[in-house]
Protein backbone atom coordinates (compact mmCIF):
# COMPACT_ATOMS: atom_id res chain seq x y z
CA UNK A 1 0.00 0.00 0.00
CA UNK A 2 1.40 3.35 -1.03
CA UNK A 3 1.52 5.81 1.86
CA UNK A 4 -1.34 8.29 1.58
CA UNK A 5 -2.84 6.65 -1.51
CA UNK A 6 -6.15 6.01 0.25
CA UNK A 7 -8.49 8.91 -0.39
CA UNK A 8 -6.31 10.46 -3.10
CA UNK A 9 -8.98 10.03 -5.72
CA UNK A 10 -12.65 10.89 -5.64
CA UNK A 11 -13.61 7.55 -7.15
CA UNK A 12 -11.63 5.29 -9.42
CA UNK A 13 -13.80 4.25 -12.36
CA UNK A 14 -13.38 1.27 -14.68
CA UNK A 15 -14.52 1.36 -18.30
CA UNK A 16 -16.49 0.20 -20.12
CA UNK A 17 -19.53 0.59 -17.89
CA UNK A 18 -23.19 1.29 -18.72
CA UNK A 19 -23.48 4.51 -16.69
CA UNK A 20 -20.59 6.05 -18.59
CA UNK A 21 -22.18 5.04 -21.89
CA UNK A 22 -25.36 6.86 -20.88
CA UNK A 23 -23.25 9.96 -20.23
CA UNK A 24 -21.54 9.64 -23.62
CA UNK A 25 -24.90 9.25 -25.34
CA UNK A 26 -26.29 12.35 -23.68
CA UNK A 27 -23.60 14.68 -25.05
CA UNK A 28 -24.43 16.68 -28.15
CA UNK A 29 -22.19 18.26 -30.74
CA UNK A 30 -18.99 16.64 -29.51
CA UNK A 31 -18.90 13.35 -31.44
CA UNK A 32 -16.02 14.29 -33.72
CA UNK A 33 -14.00 15.85 -30.93
CA UNK A 34 -14.44 12.87 -28.63
CA UNK A 35 -13.54 10.27 -31.21
CA UNK A 36 -10.44 12.24 -32.23
CA UNK A 37 -9.39 12.60 -28.58
CA UNK A 38 -9.98 8.89 -27.98
CA UNK A 39 -7.74 7.96 -30.91
CA UNK A 40 -5.06 10.40 -29.81
CA UNK A 41 -5.26 9.13 -26.24
CA UNK A 42 -4.33 5.64 -27.41
CA UNK A 43 -1.62 6.89 -29.77
CA UNK A 44 0.13 8.98 -27.12
CA UNK A 45 -0.34 6.77 -24.09
CA UNK A 46 0.39 3.46 -25.80
CA UNK A 47 2.64 3.96 -28.83
CA UNK A 48 2.69 0.21 -29.48
CA UNK A 49 -0.23 0.48 -31.88
CA UNK A 50 1.47 3.38 -33.62
CA UNK A 51 4.68 1.38 -34.09
CA UNK A 52 2.76 -1.62 -35.42
CA UNK A 53 0.95 0.65 -37.87
CA UNK A 54 4.26 2.15 -39.04
CA UNK A 55 5.77 -1.29 -39.52
CA UNK A 56 2.71 -2.33 -41.46
CA UNK A 57 2.57 0.62 -43.84
CA UNK A 58 6.27 1.63 -44.01
CA UNK A 59 7.99 -1.67 -43.24
CA UNK A 60 9.69 -0.10 -40.18
CA UNK A 61 9.16 2.31 -37.33
CA UNK A 62 10.00 5.51 -39.20
CA UNK A 63 11.76 8.38 -37.39
CA UNK A 64 8.65 10.52 -37.77
CA UNK A 65 6.82 8.13 -35.45
CA UNK A 66 9.48 8.60 -32.79
CA UNK A 67 9.06 12.34 -33.07
CA UNK A 68 5.41 11.86 -32.23
CA UNK A 69 5.92 9.40 -29.41
CA UNK A 70 8.42 11.81 -27.82
CA UNK A 71 5.46 14.05 -27.04
CA UNK A 72 4.20 14.00 -23.47
CA UNK A 73 0.93 12.04 -23.07
CA UNK A 74 -0.72 15.12 -21.61
CA UNK A 75 -3.96 16.76 -22.73
CA UNK A 76 -5.05 20.18 -21.51
CA UNK A 77 -8.77 21.00 -21.72
CA UNK A 78 -9.42 24.67 -21.36
CA UNK A 79 -12.50 26.85 -21.69
CA UNK A 80 -15.36 28.62 -20.02
CA UNK A 81 -17.49 27.20 -17.19
CA UNK A 82 -20.04 24.51 -18.04
CA UNK A 83 -18.86 23.73 -21.56
CA UNK A 84 -18.08 20.03 -21.15
CA UNK A 85 -14.43 19.83 -20.12
CA UNK A 86 -14.96 17.66 -17.08
CA UNK A 87 -17.69 15.66 -18.77
CA UNK A 88 -15.52 14.81 -21.80
CA UNK A 89 -12.50 14.05 -19.61
CA UNK A 90 -14.58 11.73 -17.46
CA UNK A 91 -16.16 9.79 -20.33
CA UNK A 92 -13.20 9.65 -22.70
CA UNK A 93 -12.19 6.33 -21.15
CA UNK A 94 -15.56 4.88 -22.08
CA UNK A 95 -15.08 5.84 -25.72
CA UNK A 96 -11.56 4.39 -25.75
CA UNK A 97 -12.75 1.19 -24.07
CA UNK A 98 -15.62 0.64 -26.48
CA UNK A 99 -13.65 1.53 -29.61
CA UNK A 100 -10.48 -0.46 -28.81
CA UNK A 101 -11.52 -3.16 -26.32
CA UNK A 102 -8.86 -1.85 -23.93
CA UNK A 103 -9.66 -1.82 -20.23
CA UNK A 104 -9.53 1.78 -19.12
CA UNK A 105 -9.29 3.12 -15.57
CA UNK A 106 -9.98 6.72 -14.62
CA UNK A 107 -8.19 8.28 -11.65
CA UNK A 108 -9.87 11.62 -10.95
CA UNK A 109 -7.97 14.05 -8.76
CA UNK A 110 -9.22 17.47 -7.84
CA UNK A 111 -6.48 19.73 -6.59
CA UNK A 112 -8.85 22.56 -5.75
CA UNK A 113 -10.94 20.32 -3.52
CA UNK A 114 -7.89 19.38 -1.51
CA UNK A 115 -6.90 22.87 -0.53
CA UNK A 116 -3.39 24.13 -0.25
CA UNK A 117 -2.20 23.95 3.29
CA UNK A 118 1.34 23.16 4.35
CA UNK A 119 4.29 23.78 2.10
CA UNK A 120 5.04 20.60 0.24
CA UNK A 121 1.43 19.42 0.25
CA UNK A 122 0.98 19.76 -3.51
CA UNK A 123 4.20 17.93 -4.24
CA UNK A 124 3.35 15.14 -1.80
CA UNK A 125 -0.12 14.81 -3.26
CA UNK A 126 1.08 14.63 -6.85
CA UNK A 127 3.94 12.29 -6.08
CA UNK A 128 1.59 10.00 -4.12
CA UNK A 129 -0.81 10.01 -7.04
CA UNK A 130 1.80 8.86 -9.52
CA UNK A 131 3.16 6.23 -7.12
CA UNK A 132 -0.32 4.80 -6.75
CA UNK A 133 -1.06 4.68 -10.48
CA UNK A 134 2.38 3.30 -11.27
CA UNK A 135 1.88 0.54 -8.71
CA UNK A 136 -1.44 -0.40 -10.34
CA UNK A 137 -0.04 -0.42 -13.84
CA UNK A 138 3.30 -2.12 -13.29
CA UNK A 139 1.26 -5.17 -12.31
CA UNK A 140 -0.90 -4.90 -15.40
CA UNK A 141 1.93 -4.54 -17.92
CA UNK A 142 2.72 -7.52 -20.07
CA UNK A 143 6.32 -8.71 -20.41
CA UNK A 144 6.64 -7.51 -24.01
CA UNK A 145 5.80 -3.99 -22.90
CA UNK A 146 2.55 -3.87 -24.84
CA UNK A 147 -0.61 -3.05 -23.05
CA UNK A 148 -4.26 -3.85 -23.16
CA UNK A 149 -5.11 -1.30 -20.57
CA UNK A 150 -5.03 2.46 -20.37
CA UNK A 151 -5.01 4.68 -17.30
CA UNK A 152 -6.33 8.22 -17.36
CA UNK A 153 -5.20 10.58 -14.62
CA UNK A 154 -7.62 13.49 -14.53
CA UNK A 155 -6.44 16.65 -12.79
CA UNK A 156 -9.60 18.73 -12.75
CA UNK A 157 -9.56 22.39 -11.73
CA UNK A 158 -5.92 22.40 -12.75
CA UNK A 159 -5.71 26.14 -12.19
CA UNK A 160 -4.63 25.19 -8.68
CA UNK A 161 -1.31 24.17 -10.20
CA UNK A 162 -0.46 27.79 -10.85
CA UNK A 163 -3.28 29.80 -9.38
CA UNK A 164 -1.63 31.35 -6.38
CA UNK A 165 1.40 32.60 -8.19
CA UNK A 166 0.33 36.09 -7.23
CA UNK A 167 1.14 35.08 -3.69
CA UNK A 168 4.90 35.40 -3.74
CA UNK A 169 5.47 32.97 -0.89
CA UNK A 170 3.62 30.27 -2.79
CA UNK A 171 5.69 30.67 -5.90
CA UNK A 172 8.23 28.06 -4.97
CA UNK A 173 5.56 25.55 -4.06
CA UNK A 174 3.75 26.11 -7.36
CA UNK A 175 6.86 25.33 -9.32
CA UNK A 176 7.43 22.29 -7.17
CA UNK A 177 3.89 21.06 -7.90
CA UNK A 178 4.33 21.51 -11.65
CA UNK A 179 7.74 19.88 -11.53
CA UNK A 180 6.32 16.93 -9.59
CA UNK A 181 3.66 16.59 -12.25
CA UNK A 182 6.14 16.66 -15.13
CA UNK A 183 8.42 14.26 -13.28
CA UNK A 184 5.49 11.92 -12.69
CA UNK A 185 4.43 11.96 -16.33
CA UNK A 186 8.00 11.43 -17.53
CA UNK A 187 8.52 8.63 -15.02
CA UNK A 188 5.48 6.75 -16.25
CA UNK A 189 6.65 7.24 -19.80
CA UNK A 190 10.10 5.80 -19.07
CA UNK A 191 8.45 2.87 -17.28
CA UNK A 192 6.42 2.49 -20.50
CA UNK A 193 3.15 2.74 -18.62
CA UNK A 194 0.14 3.52 -20.80
CA UNK A 195 -1.16 6.48 -18.84
CA UNK A 196 -2.70 9.65 -20.18
CA UNK A 197 -2.87 12.76 -18.00
CA UNK A 198 -5.67 15.29 -18.59
CA UNK A 199 -5.55 18.72 -16.95
CA UNK A 200 -8.74 20.83 -17.05
CA UNK A 201 -8.72 24.56 -16.51
CA UNK A 202 -10.89 27.63 -17.01
CA UNK A 203 -7.82 29.68 -17.82
CA UNK A 204 -5.14 28.39 -20.14
CA UNK A 205 -2.93 31.30 -19.11
CA UNK A 206 -3.11 30.11 -15.48
CA UNK A 207 -1.39 26.88 -16.47
CA UNK A 208 2.36 26.89 -16.06
CA UNK A 209 4.07 27.51 -19.43
CA UNK A 210 6.33 24.49 -18.93
CA UNK A 211 3.25 22.30 -18.68
CA UNK A 212 1.51 23.97 -21.61
CA UNK A 213 4.55 23.50 -23.83
CA UNK A 214 4.65 19.78 -23.08
CA UNK A 215 1.00 19.08 -23.80
CA UNK A 216 0.44 16.82 -26.80
CA UNK A 217 -3.06 18.24 -27.19
CA UNK A 218 -4.55 21.54 -26.04
CA UNK A 219 -8.29 21.62 -26.62
CA UNK A 220 -10.28 24.79 -26.10
CA UNK A 221 -13.96 24.07 -25.39
CA UNK A 222 -16.57 26.58 -26.51
CA UNK A 223 -20.12 27.42 -25.49
CA UNK A 224 -22.72 25.69 -27.68
CA UNK A 225 -23.88 27.39 -30.88
CA UNK A 226 -27.48 27.53 -32.11
CA UNK A 227 -27.40 24.03 -33.62
CA UNK A 228 -25.97 22.45 -30.46
CA UNK A 229 -28.43 24.28 -28.20
CA UNK A 230 -31.32 23.15 -30.40
CA UNK A 231 -30.03 19.56 -30.40
CA UNK A 232 -29.67 19.49 -26.63
CA UNK A 233 -33.05 21.13 -26.01
CA UNK A 234 -34.89 18.89 -28.43
CA UNK A 235 -33.38 15.86 -26.77
CA UNK A 236 -34.27 17.07 -23.28
CA UNK A 237 -37.78 18.22 -24.23
CA UNK A 238 -38.64 15.15 -26.29
CA UNK A 239 -42.21 13.99 -25.67
CA UNK A 240 -43.37 17.35 -24.27
CA UNK A 241 -45.56 20.04 -25.79
CA UNK A 242 -42.51 21.76 -27.27
CA UNK A 243 -42.69 21.69 -31.08
CA UNK A 244 -39.65 21.83 -33.35
CA UNK A 245 -40.41 25.51 -33.94
CA UNK A 246 -40.61 26.14 -30.17
CA UNK A 247 -37.24 24.46 -29.70
CA UNK A 248 -35.71 26.51 -32.47
CA UNK A 249 -37.08 29.72 -30.96
CA UNK A 250 -35.72 28.77 -27.54
CA UNK A 251 -32.31 27.99 -29.08
CA UNK A 252 -32.41 31.46 -30.65
CA UNK A 253 -33.21 33.39 -27.48
CA UNK A 254 -30.58 31.49 -25.50
CA UNK A 255 -27.85 32.72 -27.85
CA UNK A 256 -25.93 35.96 -27.36
CA UNK A 257 -28.22 38.98 -27.74
CA UNK A 258 -27.65 42.74 -27.93
CA UNK A 259 -26.43 43.88 -24.52
CA UNK A 260 -25.40 40.36 -23.53
CA UNK A 261 -22.47 39.17 -25.61
CA UNK A 262 -22.67 35.53 -24.49
CA UNK A 263 -25.19 32.73 -24.80
CA UNK A 264 -26.22 29.90 -22.49
CA UNK A 265 -23.69 27.19 -21.65
CA UNK A 266 -24.44 23.48 -21.83
CA UNK A 267 -24.81 23.41 -18.07
CA UNK A 268 -27.06 26.51 -18.06
CA UNK A 269 -29.47 24.63 -20.31
CA UNK A 270 -29.17 21.19 -18.86
CA UNK A 271 -28.69 21.79 -15.18
CA UNK A 272 -30.60 25.04 -14.67
CA UNK A 273 -33.10 25.96 -17.38
CA UNK A 274 -34.61 22.57 -18.17
CA UNK A 275 -34.97 21.44 -14.52
CA UNK A 276 -36.61 24.80 -13.71
CA UNK A 277 -39.04 24.36 -16.58
CA UNK A 278 -39.98 20.92 -15.32
CA UNK A 279 -40.48 22.22 -11.81
CA UNK A 280 -42.59 25.13 -13.01
CA UNK A 281 -44.82 22.89 -15.15
CA UNK A 282 -45.20 20.55 -12.17
CA UNK A 283 -46.18 23.46 -9.92
CA UNK A 284 -48.76 24.56 -12.46
CA UNK A 285 -49.92 20.96 -12.94
CA UNK A 286 -49.56 21.70 -16.66
CA UNK A 287 -47.79 20.17 -19.62
CA UNK A 288 -44.34 21.53 -20.48
CA UNK A 289 -44.75 23.99 -23.34
CA UNK A 290 -43.21 27.10 -24.90
CA UNK A 291 -45.13 29.49 -22.62
CA UNK A 292 -43.71 27.93 -19.48
CA UNK A 293 -40.22 27.77 -21.00
CA UNK A 294 -40.37 31.47 -21.90
CA UNK A 295 -41.58 32.43 -18.42
CA UNK A 296 -38.82 30.45 -16.75
CA UNK A 297 -36.14 31.76 -19.10
CA UNK A 298 -36.55 35.27 -17.65
CA UNK A 299 -35.40 34.19 -14.23
CA UNK A 300 -32.63 31.86 -15.42
CA UNK A 301 -29.96 34.02 -17.07
CA UNK A 302 -26.84 32.49 -18.62
CA UNK A 303 -23.63 32.20 -16.63
CA UNK A 304 -21.19 35.03 -17.27
CA UNK A 305 -18.00 34.03 -19.07
CA UNK A 306 -15.28 33.00 -16.65
CA UNK A 307 -13.11 36.07 -17.18
CA UNK A 308 -16.02 38.37 -16.37
CA UNK A 309 -17.35 36.38 -13.44
CA UNK A 310 -17.08 37.79 -9.91
N1 LIG B 1 -21.82 18.75 -25.23
C2 LIG B 1 -22.68 18.62 -24.22
N3 LIG B 1 -23.87 18.07 -24.43
C4 LIG B 1 -24.75 17.92 -23.43
N5 LIG B 1 -24.52 18.31 -22.18
C6 LIG B 1 -23.34 18.86 -21.90
C7 LIG B 1 -22.36 19.05 -22.90
N8 LIG B 1 -21.29 19.62 -22.33
C9 LIG B 1 -21.58 19.79 -21.04
N10 LIG B 1 -22.83 19.33 -20.77
C11 LIG B 1 -23.52 19.37 -19.49
O12 LIG B 1 -23.08 20.49 -18.77
C13 LIG B 1 -22.62 20.08 -17.49
C14 LIG B 1 -21.36 20.85 -17.19
O15 LIG B 1 -20.32 20.31 -17.98
P16 LIG B 1 -18.87 20.15 -17.37
O17 LIG B 1 -18.97 19.81 -15.92
O18 LIG B 1 -18.12 19.22 -18.23
O19 LIG B 1 -18.36 21.63 -17.51
P20 LIG B 1 -16.88 22.17 -17.39
O21 LIG B 1 -16.47 22.64 -18.72
O22 LIG B 1 -16.04 21.18 -16.70
O23 LIG B 1 -17.13 23.46 -16.47
P24 LIG B 1 -16.30 24.02 -15.22
O25 LIG B 1 -15.26 24.90 -15.81
O26 LIG B 1 -17.34 24.80 -14.46
O27 LIG B 1 -15.75 22.88 -14.46
C28 LIG B 1 -22.39 18.59 -17.54
O29 LIG B 1 -22.79 17.96 -16.38
C30 LIG B 1 -23.24 18.14 -18.67
O31 LIG B 1 -24.47 17.71 -18.10
MG1 LIG C 1 -15.26 21.08 -14.80
> For 254-291, what is each residue's pLDDT tens digit?
999 999 999 999 999 999 999 999 999 999 999 999 99
Q: What is the pTM of this model?
A: 0.90
Pairing label, strands 72-79, 215-221: parallel
Q: Which residues surround ligand 2, an ion (CB under 5 A)?
A: 86
Tell me which residues of the chain have a pLDDT lower than 70: 1-7, 110, 112-120, 140-147, 162-174, 308-310
Map out the domains of the chain with their CATH numbers: 13-221 (3.40.50.300), 226-299 (1.10.8)
C-alpha of residue 88 to centroid of ligand 2, in Å = 9
Ligand 1 pocket member 28 (CB < 6 A): yes
> For 19-69, what is each residue's pLDDT tens digit?
999 999 999 999 999 999 999 998 887 788 888 999 999 999 999 998 888
C-alpha of residue 82 to centroid of ligand 2, in Å = 7
Query: For atom 30 of ligand 1, which residue has the closest CA?
Result: 267
Amino acid sequence: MIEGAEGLFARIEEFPNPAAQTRVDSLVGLDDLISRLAQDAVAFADPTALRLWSEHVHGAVVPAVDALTDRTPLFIFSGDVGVGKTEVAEVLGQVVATSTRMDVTLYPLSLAARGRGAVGEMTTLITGTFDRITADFIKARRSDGTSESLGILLIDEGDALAQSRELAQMHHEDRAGVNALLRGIDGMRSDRLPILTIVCTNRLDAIDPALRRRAAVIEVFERPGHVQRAALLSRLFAGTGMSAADIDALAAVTSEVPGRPYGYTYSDLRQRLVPEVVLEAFRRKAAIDATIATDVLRRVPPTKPFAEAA
